[in-house]
Chains A and B, each alone.
Chain A
Amino acid sequence: MTPEEKKAAAIKITQEIVDEFLESLWLIDERGKKEKGNKSALCAVVVDEGLVADASQAEVVLMDMLKAGHIEVSGEDVSFRPGGREAAKALIRRKRLAEKLLAEVFELGPSEIKASACRFEHILSPEVTDSVCSFLGHPPTCPHGKPIPQGNCCKKLSHNVKPLVVPLDDLDPGSKGRIVFISPKDHGRMDRLSTLGIVPGTEITLHQKKPAFVIRSGETELALDPEIAREIYVRQIG
């Protein structure tokens, strides 16, 4: 549908459009720009993405969402109501977990990730989402370094579900693991680890966790800060 056609037809508000609105609002909030209210920013984004034809249509959608109890609008300021926030959080969580899964496990490039992750967010059920999250070891951030909202599985802290992939600091000293991914908080850190041969696929043994982590890979013994160990995700073996 071209924008002209969209404008001609009275806008049909689908769940997907509402989802995208919620998501856009979440992202605007996350960026933390609070000048004079965020309504115009939100409208600009949704028009830009081709969800609606113009600001007036956006207004229509917003009114609908207001009625549904997702949001509050006061003057130029749009804010979440609890139900809307939960929905938006779940959407973002699904999207970023999907990105993480596609990037780390399937090692896809950014464009493929973007295309697929957007579809995942609408179709993953809560159970599947939590499984993906547990599988990835409740990752704190997406591949772009943005925070992934926590789900129930993260709060239970995986006491019930034994995750396949865990951060290195969840391993007991003496156990072995194979690195699945290294979450990129600091770029230099990943570079340096890789020059020492610490990359996904590398098998390591955890020797101790205090006062610093000591791991062994082959005949290389390495001491690490706990913060670094927390960013190395492994799958326990043996």
Chain B
Amino acid sequence: MQCCKKEDPAKGAKRPGAKRLKKLLLIGNPNVGKSVIFGHLTGQYATVSNYPGTTVEVSQGNALIKGEQYVVVDSPGVNSLLPMSEDEQVTRDILLNDDFDSVVQVADTKNLRRSLLISLQLSEMGIPFVMALNMADEAEQAGIDTDIPALARLTGLETISATATRRKGMNKLREIVSNPRNSTLTIKYSDRLEAAIANIEPLLPDSRISRRSMALMLLGGDTSLRGWLHGTMEDNAVDELAILVKESQSGFNEPLGYVINKERLSVVDGVVKYCQTQLERPTGGVRSWLGAVSMHPVWGIPILLVVLYLMYQFVGVLGAGTMVDFMEKTVFGKLINPYAVKFFESVLPVEFLRELFIGQYGIVTMALTYAVAIVLPITATFFIAFGILEDSGYLPRLAIMVNKLFRLIGLNGKAVLPMVLGLGCCTMATLTSRILETKKERVIVTLLLALGIPCSAQLGVIMGMLSAISPVATVIWSGVLVGVIFAVGYLSSKIIKGDASDFMMELPPIRLPKLKNILMKTLGRIEWYIKEAVPLFILGTLVLFTADKMRLLGMMEKAASPLVVGLLGLPEKATAAFLIGFLRRDYGAAGFFALQKQGLMTPVQVLVSVVTITLFVPCIAQFFVTIKERGLKTAVGMLAFIFPFAILVGAALHFSLDLMHVTLQ
């Protein structure tokens, strides 16, 4: 989720007559603090977390640096400018397609080796840049001493040291951004490789990046560049290039991408050796101990259980219990709703209009009560808990614990990131699926998110409903859900063509979450929730209100009766809940919650409704993001599967509970 401006301010600036804004790009390895620096420069918050791949989209913001207006662009982290996943491709394509007045490479001081691998590639591309060596504090703690002037001499770049989380070095960075240079850090590859480059280079078109760097990308096996080449060259010239690349590869035993990186690393190693000294490395520490036990094959499991228990206490008990109760009964029940009733009764003389606000399907009494009293406390507590998890560095370690399990459904442990994020909001999570390497994995994760992962809002309402009936219901609900996710995941991993990718994931250090970042992140996410959900809640209420007033609701209930009453065994009134469930699943769940509270549903009906609505169609926003990420055909296909499937599972549950005479009292 991004709360920054999405429009491209520079586009406007290109209009003739308008003053052109300078553009500045932040680039670097994943999880080195680009988004923190972006926040300091622009004063806008971009989501900051402690795992690689937090930023999957480009965010832009304005900054005033030394009296000049800049548009600052924050890019997804890359380990190589030869992209291996969609988020990495986003960054490479920016370099290919956009002009920048300045580029800042953000580097992790303690991982200088991997940072210089990027520097070398920027240098090859012929892009002038400056260098910010971030995380100086952590490098110091690890006993790494860096000779910055020496590094600056070797690279020929303006270089500063920074600890962005403590705002250290930000002024120095502002001083140097206007002075990007071409790096003097260059590499002459082995003769055979240079010969291959020389063969390809002359055939390539001119562009923003050097032909040499493009030749290296092609040799390295970059297929994503082909689309771009087709746009600038004749088709047969592109084919000719492909043949040349193939021929070059055949002269080597190892993949060329690997050969190129090996040779780059040997240059980089020399530089690192020259300007960094490893002093005594302090061993242990609570954080590294925590990091180790949280992914231990035995101790990792109790730790996971403790994490889940704490989350349940915080989100389930405090958020969904105490806070919802307080908001619903005291704030809305005793204060807002009575006041609103009085207010609208005195200002609106017409009964029809009054009902629009305070009736059974009223904007205040239904939409706002649901959104603010029931859903908001749950989402807020979930996002706080999730933010702590994100910033601690626990999530990638969780990925290790579930890797084997996820293998069964054609994914690897890395997919736990979008899936857990989906428990917050599936729309955001659908975007995050970009961090996965293969198309197959992205499709499976998108499908599972759309089908079976309840978002925090929905989860909270469901927990509220289930807590009122037998605990067996909760067991059945979670059993059905896990079963469905694994069954559908397993089958789709067999049906969808393609490969699962390797599990190869970087583990960030365990860090103490910063309260300020958690709050900023949670506020940003709540703001976004309110903007996205509340209008839909109001829209849904208006639909119900209109349908009710025009006596359509009754007709719809009749029409849907075979489905709702016959197959699912729910009361006719449940049709309304399904209707708004088409807009948002959590709103649909809230509708069932209300029915349950009015005593209109038996425990078995509660369980069936909860299972069906959990699996129900994704919310509108998620559907649109799915279209954007996976294409219209795939998105519609998923929808066409999910709707009947949800009803089918609900019906199966209804009939089997019936057959076994389960009452769940």
Contacts and interface: CB of A to CB of B under 8 A. Distances in A.
Contacts of B99: none
A200 interface: yes
A210 B251 CA distance: 38
B297 interface: yes
B251 A199 contact: no
Given A195-B117, A208-B297, A190 B254 contact: yes
A16 interface: no
Decide if the interface of chain A is mainly helix, strand, loop or mixed: mixed
Contact of A194 (B261, B296, B403): B261
B111 A223 contact: no
Given A110-B253, A225-B502, A225-B504, A196 B114 contact: yes
A182 B265 CA distance: 15
Contacts of A201: 266, 269
Interface of B: 79-80, 82, 84, 108, 110-111, 113-114, 117, 138-139, 142, 144, 192, 220-221, 251-255, 257-258, 261-262, 265-266, 269, 291-292, 295-297, 300, 396, 399-401, 403-404, 412-413, 502-509
Interface in A207-229: 207-208, 210-212, 214, 218-225, 227-228
B262 A212 contact: no
A187 B262 contact: no
A110 B251 contact: yes
A191 interface: yes
B240 to A, nearest CB: 22
B262 A208 contact: no
A212 B413 contact: yes
A192 B84 contact: yes
B262 A189 contact: no
Nearest to A200: B262
A143 interface: yes
Contacts of A110: 251-253
Given A109-B192, A192-B504, 13 more contacts: A109-B252, A186-B502, A190-B255, A194-B258, A195-B261, A196-B506, A199-B262, A211-B401, A218-B110, A221-B291, A221-B507, A222-B505, A223-B400
B257 A194 contact: yes
A144 interface: yes
Given A222-B505, A223-B504, A211 B297 contact: yes
Interface string A111-132: 0010000000000000000000
A69 interface: no
Nearest to A193: B504
A212 B251 contact: no
A87 interface: no
B114 A224 contact: no
Nearest to B404: A211
A230 B80 CA distance: 24
A36 B220 CA distance: 42
A207 B111 contact: no
Given A214-B507, A225-B412, A190 B252 contact: no
B279 to A, nearest CB: 13
A227 B504 CA distance: 11
A113 B413 CA distance: 40
A137 to B, nearest CB: 18
A135 B32 CA distance: 39
A110 B644 CA distance: 58
Nearest to B393: A221
A110 B252 CA distance: 7
Contacts of B139: 219
A176 to B, nearest CB: 13
B265 A192 contact: no
A218 B276 CA distance: 12
A151 interface: no
A103 to B, nearest CB: 5
A225 B220 contact: no
Contact of A191 (B138, B221, B253, B300): B221
5 contacts: A188-B255, A211-B297, A219-B108, A219-B110, A220-B506
A197 interface: yes
Given A113-B253, A184-B255, A214-B400, A222 B504 contact: yes
Given A190-B258, A221-B507, A207 B253 contact: no
A222 B506 contact: yes
A103 B253 CA distance: 8
Given A191-B255, A212-B400, A221 B506 contact: yes
A193 B262 CA distance: 10
B13 to A, nearest CB: 35
A225 B253 contact: no
A211 B505 CA distance: 14
B503 A223 contact: yes
Contacts of B266: 201
B220 A191 contact: yes
Contacts of A143: 253-254
Given A194-B265, A197-B265, A207-B292, A224 B297 contact: no
A175 B55 CA distance: 35
A197 B117 contact: yes
A202 B117 CA distance: 14
A109 B253 CA distance: 7
A210 B295 CA distance: 9
A220 B111 contact: yes
A222 B257 CA distance: 20
